[in-house]
Amino acid sequence: MKQGLGAIYAAGVDGKLEPLLWQGYENEATLQQLIAENPHLLGGDQIDPDDPRRWQLVRREMTINDAETGTGWWSVDHLFLDQDAIPTFVEVKRASDPRIRRETVGQMLDYAANASVHWTAHHIREALRSPELDPDTLVEDFSKRGSTEFWKELQRNLEDRKVRLLFVADHIPPKLRRVVEYLNEQMKIEVLAVEIRKYVADGKTVYVPYVIGNTSEATDRKSGGAINNFHGRLRFEEVRKLCQERGDEIVVGYNDGLAALEAAPIEELKARAGYKWDFSVGGTGRKDPKRWFKGTDFLKVVSAKEA
């Protein structure tokens, strides 16, 4: 039995307690298949107790292109979507795998950095399609919302780099646990680990998911505005009109700041799914000044491009 993982006890019909002992998985593929067929084992009710996460598997071994070469370079073990259209990367390792800490963490950060550049909602929608499955019907069934609204939200999440990283194993070593907790406290995206513990006795098998990384500091930081730090989201013409009406009373958010806005073609700016905005005084949450600028600055850049 793994050190630090005691038995759990099940009461028999006679009331006596029977110990079920922890047991690792035969191989990584077994755990991967278990997750693909039973995504509720990812602990969606622990990740968000007030609104438990529901999962839709997009694909196993989903390819991610390299930002420099544009060719397929990585493949994430599982790509899931939750009901809020947040892409969720799942990387699976057994505790006995020596790569479970340093190499796996690097892989996941590569996934997050490159998928947000190369993937679009259309790309993921087509990955979900099969001769037997219609992607629009699937997302409507599991998200309980219209498919058009869902795909738009997914595109916004990709543009805002709002993703979730899940490290999954039969046991999360203490060193990886500390890394996950640190990353989740410091990054605006969710970085969590999930132990899917397996206990067996006399032909019985019990699976117990346990989510790691939701420390009180991480919860406080994220609820304080690391993610939800804006008043609303508007299309191009809508945010331009608001800037014209309110000027410096509002601020506009753009992924890589004012310099990136100046570098982007006007066609790209007009086609963007949405722009975050907030009040410059009394706004919501904390903001990175490198990513937010005054409404008048937005108007200056747009006017120069259209001149």
Evaluate whether residue 2 is within a structural domain: no
Residues 193, 296 within the same domain: no
Confidence of residue 9 (pLDDT cuts 50, 70, 90): confident
pLDDT, mean of residues 19-46: 92
pLDDT for residue 19 = 86
HEC letters along 67-135: CCCCCEEEEEEEEEEECCCCEEEEEECCCCCHHHCHHHHHHHHHHHHHHHHHCCHHHHHHHHCCCCCCH
Per cent of the chain over pLDDT 90 is 43
- pLDDT surpassing 90 at residue 43: yes
Which domain covers residue 183, as residue numbers? Answer: 8-226
pLDDT at 229 over 80: no
- Looking at the fold, whether 117 and 258 belong to one and the same domain comes out as no
Residues 126 and 267 both lie in one domain: no
Task: Count Cβ atoms within 10 A of the Cβ of residue 66 and give its class: 0-12 exposed, 13-18 middle, 19 or more buried.
Answer: middle
Q: Which of 226, 245, 266 is at the close of a domain?
A: 226
Residue 225 has a pLDDT of 42
The pLDDT value recorded for residue 103 is 77
Contact 111, 79 (CB under 8 A): no
- How far is CA 65 from each of CA 71, 115, 162, rounded to the nearest angstrom? 5, 7, 18
Q: What is the pLDDT of residues 62-84, one digit of tens each?
A: 887 665 555 556 788 999 999 99
DSSP state, residue 245: H
Both 212 and 260 in one domain: the answer is no
Alpha carbon of 36 to those of 58, 59, 105, 178, 271: distances in Å?
Answer: 10, 9, 21, 27, 35
Residue 5: its pLDDT value, please? Answer: 62
Q: Could you report the per-residue pLDDT of 264-289, keeping only the tens digit for each?
A: 889 888 888 788 899 988 777 677 78
What pTM was estimated for this model as a whole?
0.69
Least confidently predicted of 44-48, 112-116, 143-147, 241-245: 112-116
102-118 and 147-159 are packed helices; what angle lies between their axes, rounded to 10 degrees?
120
Mean pLDDT of 142-159: 90
> Which range has the top average pLDDT, 83-87, 157-161, 261-265?
83-87
Of 207, 226, 245, which marks where a domain is finished? Answer: 226
Sign of the CA dihedral 245, 247, 250, 254?
A: positive
Whether 236 and 189 map to the same domain: the answer is no
Q: Flag whether pLDDT at 90 surpasses 80.
A: yes
User: How high is the mean pLDDT of the chain?
Assistant: 86
Task: Write the single-letter amino acid at 111.
Answer: Y
Q: Are residues 210 and 73 in the same domain?
A: yes
Q: What's the CA gap between 184 and 161, in Å, rounded?
A: 15
Q: In total, how many domains does the chain have?
A: 2
Asked which of 191, 226, 261 is the last residue of a domain, the reply is 226
Structure-model confidence comparison of residues 175 and 168, the more confident one: 168
